[in-house]
Copies of this chain bind each other. A is one copy, B any other.
Amino acid sequence: MEQLNREQEQSKKSKMPTGDQQDVEAQLIEIVEGINAAFREKDIEKIMSYYAKDVVAFDMMPPLEFNGVDSYRKAWQIGMDGMSETGPFEDAHRHFHISGDLAVMHSLCHMTGTLKKNNQKIDSWARYTGVFENRGGKWLITHEQFSVPIDMESEKAMWNLKPEKGMMQ
């Protein structure tokens, strides 16, 4: 991760963000890290407070889409109920796109923890794209997509991929 973090810093520097942009980036990171902390603390109300009421989410689990925060809450609750323990937050290769009241953050994120049903340890990297809107001074998530690639032969989810430099060229 040390190498990834260095790259991340360099990527930020090369974009020479303005003060405003840095401020928005910090707020988006606070949201994503806030959700992860609330997930570990099993605080569903806190998690949902980061989402717009009309959020449309493409989650790793079905259905194809969750329309609205009440629908999406069920997915979070299932995810939360399925874990006996959740590891600390880590992500890599963060990219930001910010313009006015619209922002996008995408990254690779490391999911760790233990499944309640069989005590199986999880240790997987997934892909995250979050779309944020500033509504009345508060940034809210209005859309997100979260997935892992599929092995086209076995048609199975690829839980064991890692964001190593060599893989991404």
Contacts and interface: CB of A to CB of B under 8 A. Distances in A.
B104 A143 contact: yes
Interface string A126-146: 010101010000000011010
Interface residues of A, number: 48
A143 B129 contact: yes
Given A60-B149, A63-B168, 18 more contacts: A56-B95, A58-B127, A58-B147, A58-B149, A60-B150, A61-B150, A62-B149, A62-B158, A62-B161, A64-B108, A64-B163, A71-B168, A99-B101, A102-B102, A106-B145, A129-B131, A129-B143, A155-B159
20 contacts: A56-B93, A56-B106, A59-B149, A60-B150, A62-B151, A62-B158, A64-B148, A64-B162, A65-B93, A65-B163, A71-B169, A98-B102, A100-B100, A100-B102, A106-B131, A129-B145, A145-B145, A145-B147, A148-B150, A156-B156
